[in-house]
Amino acid sequence: MNGRTVKGVNFVDLVDAGDPVELARAYVEQGADELVFLDISATLETRGTLIHLVRRIAEVINIPFIVGGGVRSVEDARDLLGAGADKVALNSAAISNPGLIGEIAAQFGSQCVVVAMDIRQSSGRWMVHSHGGTKPTDLEAEAWALEVEKRGAGEILLTSMDHDGTKAGFALEITRKISQYASIPVIASGGAGNVEHFHDLFASNSADAALAASIFHFHEVAIPDLKKSLLAAQISVRL
């Protein structure tokens, strides 16, 4: 937001977490496997992703780079990939125009297409939200996961809005269910607060990868220490 990295709780109360270029550089040095850059205000502000910032980040990293926020067309995806992104993340645009998933996959390959699912529990059902989590839809998470896979998505980035920023642990049950429904990789997001939460996620086979923000941005958990702990628990990681 405004060219800065921000983090909140349950998608609100955002606080500044630092310069995105410097953070990206630091995460590469610490051994992160992949970097996810989500321009969270792009859709709400009806603008495209901050291409110049994507380009600057891409220049200082050598790990896979997912970029999302404000992607509404094949041209938007082309611009981001040309600026250095390895994959583009779709959310609101995929909900309003599901055919866009297949259009981008046809042009650049499914490996370039990530569908981000922001979900919240309501009356016992996990429902998909759009526009940075501000607009509920009538899409149930499980059905939408199957739909995006069918349309050509190569990965799902699953964020529990109820768990986001709480540091109380990942949403294991729904994440495991989505992983079982879909045959494409699922990245779990929302709720990481300590090393044990990653152990719980991977030991329960709930996801293929885990995304965290707060604990890394604010130096509460070091990536090398996390990886060593997972490896000691016989969970496969890249050192």
**DSSP label at 110?**
G
Beta bridge partners of 9: 12
Q: pTM of the entire structure? A: 0.90
For the residues of 112-158, what is the DSSP string, one character each? GEEEEEEEEEETTEEEEEETTTTEEEEEEHHHHHHHHHHTT-SEEEE
| Topology of the domain comprising 5-232 | TIM Barrel (3.20.20)
Domain ranges, ordered by start, for the chain: 5-232
Instruction: Please compute the mean of the pLDDT values over residues 148-159 and round it to a whole number.
Output: 98
Q: How far apart are CA 26 and CA 36, in angstroms?
A: 14
The token duo for 213 is 């923000």
> What pLDDT, in 10s, does the model give residues 183-217?
999 999 999 999 999 999 999 999 999 999 889 98
128 Cβ contact list (under 8 Å, min separation 6): 95, 117, 118, 119, 137, 139, 140, 141, 144
> What pLDDT, in 10s, does the model give residues 38-47?
886 655 565 5
Q: Please determine, for residue 8, whether its predicted confidence score (pLDDT) is greater than 60.
A: no
Q: CB–CB of 98/147 below 8 Å?
A: yes
Residue-averaged pLDDT of the chain: 90
